[in-house]
Amino acid sequence: MSQFTKTLQFPVINKSYEQPIGLFINNEFVAAKSGKKFAVTSPVTEEKLADLEQAGEEDVEVAVQAAYKAFKEWKFIEPSKRAALLLKLADLVDRDRDLLAQIESLDNGKALHCAKFDVNLVFEYLRSCAGYCDKIDGRSVVTDDHHMSYTKREPLGVCGAITPWNFPLLMFAWKIGPALATGNTVVLKPASATPLSNLYCCKLIKEAGFPAGVVNVIPGSGRGCGNAILNHPLVKKVAFTGSTGVGKQVMTEAAKSIKKVTLELGGKSPNIVFQDCDVKQTIQNLITGIFFNGGEVCCAGSRIYIQATDEKWYHDFLQQLKATVEKLKVGNPFEADTYQGAQTTPDQFEEVLGFIEEGKKTNLKLLTGGNRIGTKGYFLEPTLFYDVPQDSKLTSDEIFGPVGYLRC
């Protein structure tokens, strides 16, 4: 076994696998220059899963230089060959779909059915990106009878990517897919809480035959590793997915070297329910909108506005919703029929509990939930408040957990 591999055990299903724990630079797993490591822990048990190499500024420099060197050849590779490599990677993800879903649940805490949903999207998305490789072209513009102008689209160079912990593998694909399809190379920093599936995918990138340096994955802290990516002059584009607050910092840092920036930030999405709806189907849609992935979704439909002229219908609807929500199984993501697993990080777990306590403290009406489950692991009851006023903190702030509110 390599020094950059650790055997990890999945709970419940009695299965183990070999997890890469090094930085992935130039198609090899390597040690951090500083010698520093960081622990990745299970949100289900709160126990350490593994110690990983922790990337710092020196490692960013090495990774960016590798990506820049690779770019000089990768940008000239025929679109059909880039497409073939992306299709091969998609096939490998498809081949290892069950294992990747299990790694995602182990590291993130999400229910296995959610992780399987993510992985299916990953290989389909990579195939879609492959299909775009030979469709990126310019325009011919006739300006008058004697002149014609043309435009040509060219790759930028090294692209930096910083991904979140709620959809680790899916965000990995969303970042590398478009970059590689358009002839760019990538230095990606996964969330330090959930890097395991990304590092496993690095094995597949190498197996697929991508040239060394085209994709580099370096787990580390936001301040040490993330800022070094944002400030590096050879990184021409940064794609970030995360909170609005951090997104502002990303834009500020990237502006210092005038990079292109793509930000995918938080939200507070509404659902509107009309009295003539199919109640059973609507309740299922609301549950998916709020509680899928433990509510850790930037477009979670946590605001529910109900248009009802009949007060009895409104209260009957609330009771049916309450009864259905209380049937959802919350627990170990590997157990059968688990709908909602653990919240991913201890900080987010405490923040969501803070929102719930705020609701109780301000005497909001609690329809269901509102408590921690057990004393080990970051488990929360699916929680709904109702008749919540518009000036409540629960109305205005993104909760990013299994908490929603209703208002008629």
Q: Which of 264, 351, 358, 398 is catalytic?
A: 264
- What SS3 class is residue 222? helix
Torsion sign, CA atoms 98, 176, 399, 391: negative
**Beta pairing, strands 15-20 & 28-30:** unpaired
Which residue from 348, 356, 333 is spatially nearest to 297, judged by alpha carbons? Answer: 348
pLDDT tens by residue, 282-329: 999 999 999 999 999 999 999 999 998 899 999 999 999 999 999 999
Does 137 score more than 90 pLDDT? no
Q: Is pLDDT of 1 > 80?
A: no
Mean pLDDT of 347-368: 97
Predicted structure pTM score: 0.95
Helix/strand/coil percentages in the chain, nearest 5: 40, 25, 35
Distances (CA, A) of 185 to 65, 169, 176, 365: 11, 18, 8, 51
Cα distances from 282 to residues 279, 304, 405, in angstroms, run: 5, 11, 15
Mean pLDDT for the chain?
96
Task: Write the pLDDT tens digit of every residue in 41-67.
Answer: 999 999 999 999 999 999 999 999 999
Q: Is 264 a catalytic residue?
A: yes
Give dist(CA 402, CA 122) in Å, integer: 24
Decide: 151 and 141 in contact? Cβ < 8 Å.
yes
Q: What is the pLDDT of residues 83-105, one digit of tens each?
A: 999 999 999 999 999 999 999 99
Q: What 3-state class would DSSP assign to 13?
A: coil
User: What single DSSP character describes residue 380?
Assistant: B
Average pLDDT over residues 221-244: 95
* Closest CA relative to residue 301, chosen from 273, 266, 270: 270
Q: Which residues contact 213 (CB under 8 A, 6 or more apart)?
A: 25, 26, 27, 66, 67, 69, 70, 71, 185
Decide: residue 47, CB within 10 A, 0-12 exposed, 13-18 middle, 19+ buried.
exposed
Between CA 119 and CA 290 the distance in angstroms is 21
CA distance 100 to 17: 10
Domains and CATH numbers, the chain: 5-264 (3.40.605.10), 270-407 (3.40.309.10)
Cross-strand bridge partners of residue 8: 17
Q: Cβ contacts of residue 319 below 8 Å, gap of 6+?
A: none
